[in-house]
Structures are given as C-alpha cells and as structure tokens.
A and B are shown apart, each in its own frame.
Chain A
C-alpha cells in the first residue's frame, strides 16, 4: 500500500515514514489483497446504493428541488479501543457539564453570579428563551441528543471544535454508512473486531422513553416531529422514526386536547408523551413564538410547562451552541464538574474583547473567523485560503460588528485517506460522536460520524460545502 500524495500533517493511517499505524494494520492488510478493478467497481456501486435507499438531502434552487447525495468514501476511519476510552470520558464530562449549565442558566444563574460568565452573553443570544426561565423539563434534562464535534491534530491531541446541543443531525449517515460497508465488504468485518453502532435507534427510543413527562400513563408514546417531506433532513427524520418504531408526525397531525398533546390517528386523537422534534424553537408553538408557523402545535408550550409532554431537545437549549459561549466551555466544565476539562477547546479569541479584536485584525491571514451564531460552514473566513479581496471584505464586517465573531487558529487537522482512482489520498476529517442523555445515564455510541473534506487541502468538511462522510470504526480490545 502506498500513499499517492505527500502528507504535511498528522495522518491517522500513515506515520511520517509511511508505515501503517497500529489501528489501520488489519484494514491495510485486507486492502492490499483486493483487486484494484474490483475496488473501483465497489466504489461506484456505493453511490447507486445510497440513491436507491434514498439517503439524500434536498437542495432548493431557483427552479425545482434537487436531491443530492452526500459523497461517501469507502475507506473507514479507524479509532483504537484505547483512544476511544479517553475520548468517551471527555465527552461524558462535557455533556454532563452542558446539561448542568443549561439548568443553571434557566434557574439561579449561579455561574453569572459567581462572575465566571458575563451576563451580556445571554442578552445577545438569539437562542435564549425567557419562556424557559424557572421551568424544569421532565427528568431535568435539556439536551437529550448531543453531537460533540471533535478534531485531531496529533497522536494524542483531540479538541472540541463545536458543541451541538440543539439538534445534531447526521446520525442516519453514521448508521447507513455502516450498513453499506457491511453490505459491500462482509469479509472485512468478519476479520476486524468493530464495535457495533446499529442499535443506536433502539437506544434512542429507550432514552427518550425514559424522559416521559409526569402525566404519561403506561408505556410512553414517542413521536418524531418533522417539518415535512420538503425539509432537507426529511430522510433522517423518517429513517429514525422507522427504526425506533415511533410515529413520524407533522405539526398538522398534532393538537392540544384536554391538556395533552394528541395526534390524529385513524381512531381519533391519542396522546403523545415524548416528542423528538426536528423543528426549530421559533416554530414550535405559534401561540408563544412565531405566530405564522404552521410547523408547530398551538399551545404545546403550556402543555410542556404543566408536565404533559416532553420536548427533546428542550426549547432554549441552543443557547449553548453559541460560539461565544463555546469559548467559555473550559470554565463551564470546571464550574459544574469541579474537574479540569478532559477534552480541550480550540484556542478562541472573542472579538468582543478589544485586545483580542486587535490581535485578530492583525492576523486575519492566519486565522479562521466564525460568526457567533453561524453554523454549517457558512459566514466564516478561512484566512490562509482566502483571497486578499475576501479578507478585505471580511475585515469590514468584523470591524462593523466585532461582537458577532470569534477567531481560532487554523488547525492542522488530521487526515485520513480516501479512495481515489489513483490510489489512497489524504483528506482532512473531523468526528461527531452522538450522545444520548436520560435520567438513566449518558450513552455514547462508539464512533460517530466522520466528515471528510473531499477536495485536496480543503479544511471544510460540511456537507453543504461539498464534504463527504466515512464509516467510523472503534476497534474492540
């Protein structure tokens, strides 16, 4: 096995002398035994299979909707059992802190009283929901499903790049990538001991059921609330509902009847206990938030407050996804757990501070600058790859509204090889593990979703910007 391109950074498969690193040895042995022509055929089959299953996302152009595939790469990303154990501890700690933080923000705000978090961060935060103040969600849980985005820069250097406590998406890709890999290369799995991910939907169903509200009688009724078939992530909503054995509902199926949220079935209205909603806060309840919303349920917030329904994730959770809050996560973790964070943040300059702003403006060519509320890789500047003109334009935006931005060093993200017709080629990757939280505990699925920048040298892994995905393996001991 050889490398088609030179690698300037930490590669997870090859070390500096092009030798195979330990976790990849089994895979590499298998790969070398395969006929190149056969591999090439398998590679094109994968696309066809994704299309047939319908794992697509919708992109709306000017004319009509187009269904696109997220590119899939058939070389797995492999993590050793030992590496995973360390990551898992760090993730668990962070998620515990996130829930405690959200509870505190909507109750006594001890962290602000203690002077560890400036109050202005809440006032300027669009995701802050005054309606949630003083209200405790069933089981005291705010973020039932969390995605923690991790990046790696060296053998033991992992960082948290982003917390997705609001609505982490993409878990269906984690599951379908594994299905596809097992379908294409069954012999590979019989050889390597890989931790299973396929029971995620059942664990999700169990975790959600464990968060049933006080008014629930008997076995909790769980439903997935989707904006509908035209939503870009509809495939995932339907997929999860199907795999969980839960109803897939739209706002128009739900109504508040007798103090409960009920769904219109062929037998009449039946209560729903737990709603895994994939609808934004603003659209949840037209009586409380966006009055024109047809995606939500009028009156659902009143039912929620009276313990008639569980909304997962809780409204107002998005407040912690804010990138200015992110920059305080080390303090937050320490404040609520009394421990040093096991997983470090990426160094972050808050442009709201004048000293930081001055530094950022002086070093724009080297930095990544992000909008505080942005996501999906939009509205950001990657200094080293930006043109002079782009930097000039960004500088103006930054000077006009510095509070709206944070900056980070351009990390030399780890690479993992992708399959190309010319051979394996290194591409930058990140990792989003999925975490489930219920009163029964914190449950982390081994691995998660590896996103990969398909373009040579690119650091942007977002699917909306041409990023792809890989199957992620955690090896058994």
Chain B
C-alpha cells in the first residue's frame, strides 16, 4: 500500500472519531445548559471550547460564551478552521484519497452523511437543530465503523484505519478528563465522598459512558470510580486502557504484515510496561493532571512513530 494512502486512511478515521467526539461534547454541554443556571451553563460552554483547545480562536471573535455562539463556532464558523464542517470535508477528502483501499460500502456511508451534514451546516444552527446535527455525526461514526467491520479486507489498510481511530479516541478521552480533573481534587482526601454528580454525569455522557458506568457502580459516583472507569477499565471501549489494548493489537498486526517492528512498536511496549499494573491510588498519588499530560504526549509520539514507520509522508 502507498504511504500516502495509509496516511489518508489513518486521518480519515481520526477525523471521523474527532467529529463524533465533538458531537458528544456539544450534546453533553447542551444538556448541562438546559438543566443548570445561566452561570453554570456559561462555565460549561467555556469548558467545551477549552477541551477542544479553541479558546484563543473563539475569544478572537466572540465576547460571551452563550450556547448558540459556541455550537455554531464549533460546528461551522469559518473563523474556526477546525470546525466540524471542515473536519467532515477533510474526512471525506481522505476517504477519496484512500478510495481504492476502502469498500464502496464505507465510501458511500462517508459520502452520504457528508452530503447530509454539509447541508445541515450550510446555515447557522438553531437550538432546535443541534440535536439533528449531533445525531447525524453520531450516526456517521456508527455507519462507517459498521461498514468497515463488515466489508473491508483485514489488510494493513484496516489496521491504519483502526490505529487512527484509537489514537484520536484516547486523546479525546484524556482531554475531557483533564478538563475536569480539578473537580476531583476536593474529594481526594476522603475517597468515596459525593461529588457534583451533574458535572460528572456530563463527563460520562461526553464519552458515551453514562449508562455503562451506572451499571458497573450501581449509581455511586465518586472520584475513584470515575478514574478507574475512564482510565483503567478495559471493558469500556472509550477508556484509555481499552484504546491501549486495541492499539497494541493494531501495531502488532502491522509489524507482522511488514515483517519487522518499528519505533511505534517500541513506544507501545514502553507504554504497556508503565501502565499495565497501574492503580487508581498511584495515579492520584502522582497527580491525575500530570498523568493525563504524559499520556497525551505519549499518544502523540506513537502517532508520529506510526507515520514514520510506514512512510506516510516521505
């Protein structure tokens, strides 16, 4: 497979994942804004923008953090070069680049949803329409992953697609958690004390983990439980542990297919060594924030190494 095509597949699935995660973040923010007072709502929208790393760009064009400004900025405004509409176009362009390595099922799922979304985002989005946009974004993820699963050859292309998915997903979960880590601080001294459950429910919602968490913990929300769930529980498909196992399998498959290991496999092994016996206590002891920052940096290093090992760009 061409290095450029591998790069196209990798980024197609990163953008797909990023769009879906952004949709969940908006959805959770919207829910929060509807159920809380104005001040909390504003703080919530502020944190949505901060989680996406778009604070400077947003503040350059908007004075206040009201809902409509935030979702329009995130979804479609030209002043935000990383808006979802652009993200979708980039996903589709990457799909076109890799067209010979995805099935027509995958391509049509991408193209059909792109057509829908592009129309939805051609004009400013009202509060009544946000839900439709969010479900279109989520449906795209579901359909494209479903088509990939059911129709694509399990060759290197498949593993580049999956590698992109898990690099992006791990980064997103880590960022969402990091944006809220301070909420856990007051409760560190007495683990088990109740938290602002609304805030945490919002975090869980933005990673599609609210009901899974509730099932596992019988509704008890505490700092330990949340970190355990989002960082260490490898049964939950958006947890850092799950992403790491999935990535390990992808990279091992790629190394097998190419008959040799590269820097990405080495970094993966280091990550496994550092994290396999990690406990919640250790994470809190060394600082959750520090842990997450290190995690994000390591994740980015693995992404770069994949690109170099498999000649994405040169």
Q: Which residues of A contact B (CB under 8 A)?
A: 51-54, 229, 234, 238, 241-242, 246-250, 252-253, 263-268
Q: Are A268 and B112 in contact (CB under 8 A)?
A: no
A229/B93 in contact, CB under 8 A: yes
Question: Among the interface residues B2, B3, B311, which one has the most CB atoms of the partner chain A within 10 A?
Answer: B2
- In the complex the two chains form, what is the Cα distance from A238 to B310 in whole Å? 22
The answer to whether B3 and A52 have CB atoms under 8 Å apart is no
Cβ-defined contact, B111 with A264, below 8 A = no
Asked whether, in the complex, the Cβ of B97 is within 8 Å of the Cβ of A229, the reply is: yes
Q: Which residue of B5, B112, B258 is within 8 Å of A267 (Cβ)?
A: B258
The complex places the Cα of A459 from the Cα of B214 at a distance, in Å, of 69
Are the CB atoms of B2 and A252 closer together than 8 Å? no
Does B96 contact A234, Cβ atoms closer than 8 Å?
A: yes
Chain B residue nearest to A238 (CB atoms) is B99
What 10 additional pairs, Cβ within 8 angstroms, besides A53-B108, A265-B2, A266-B1? A51-B115, A52-B108, A52-B112, A246-B100, A252-B4, A253-B2, A263-B2, A265-B311, A266-B2, A266-B3
For B, the interface residue count at a CB cutoff of 8 angstroms equals 22
B6 in the interface (beta carbon within 8 A) = yes
| Interface residue? B73 (CB, 8 A) | no
CB pairs A–B below 8 angstroms (20 shown):
A52-B111, A52-B112, A54-B108, A229-B93, A234-B96, A238-B96, A241-B100, A242-B100, A246-B100, A248-B5, A248-B100, A249-B2, A250-B4, A253-B2, A264-B4, A265-B2, A265-B3, A266-B6, A266-B258, A266-B311
Least distance between B158 CB and chain A CB atoms (Å): 13
Please give the distance in Å from B273's CB to the nearest CB on chain A: 27
B229 close to chain A: CB less than 8 A: no
B111 near A248: Cβ-Cβ < 8 Å: no
User: Do A247 and B2 touch across chains, with their CB atoms under 8 A apart?
Assistant: yes
Residue ID in chain B nearest A270 by CB atoms: B2
Chain A residues, CB < 8 A from B1:
265-266
Q: Find out whether the CB atom of B100 lies under 8 angstroms from the CB atom of A54.
A: no
- The complex places the Cα of A241 from the Cα of B97 at a distance, in Å, of 12
Distance in angstroms from B7 CB to nearest chain A CB is 10
Q: How far is the CB of B267 from chain A (nearest CB, A)?
A: 18
Contact for A268 among B5, B111, B156, B311, CB less than 8 A: B311
Encode B102-121 as 1/0 by CB contact (under 8 A) with A. 00100110011001000000
Q: Are B99 and A264 in contact (CB under 8 A)?
A: no
The 10 A-B residue pairs whose C-beta atoms are closest, nearest first, are: A238-B99, A266-B310, A242-B100, A264-B3, A229-B96, A241-B100, A248-B100, A54-B111, A266-B6, A52-B112
Query: Which residue on B lies nearest to A241, using beta carbons?
Result: B100
Give the chain B neighbours of A241 by CB distance below 8 A.
99-100
- Closest Cβ of chain A to B307, distance in Å, is 10
**Residues on B with beta carbons closer than 8 Å to the beta carbon of A248:** 2, 5, 99-100
Q: What distance in Å separates the Cβ of B251 from its nearest Cβ neighbour in chain A?
A: 13
The answer to whether B4 and A54 touch across the interface, beta carbons within 8 angstroms, is no
With A229-B96, A266-B311: A54-B6 Cβ-Cβ less than 8 Å? no
- The closest CB in chain B to the CB of A67 belongs to B115
CA distance A264 to B5 in the complex (A): 10
Inter-chain contacts of A263 with B (CB < 8 A): 2
Nearest CB to that of B157 among chain A residues?
A: A266
Do B115 and A266 have beta carbons less than 8 Å apart? no
Query: CA A249 – CA B100 in complex, angstroms?
Result: 10
Within 8 A of A (CB), among B1-60: 1-6
A347 → chain B closest CB, angstroms: 44
CB-based contact A253/B96 at 8 Å: no
For A253, the chain B residues whose CB sits under 8 A away are: 2-4
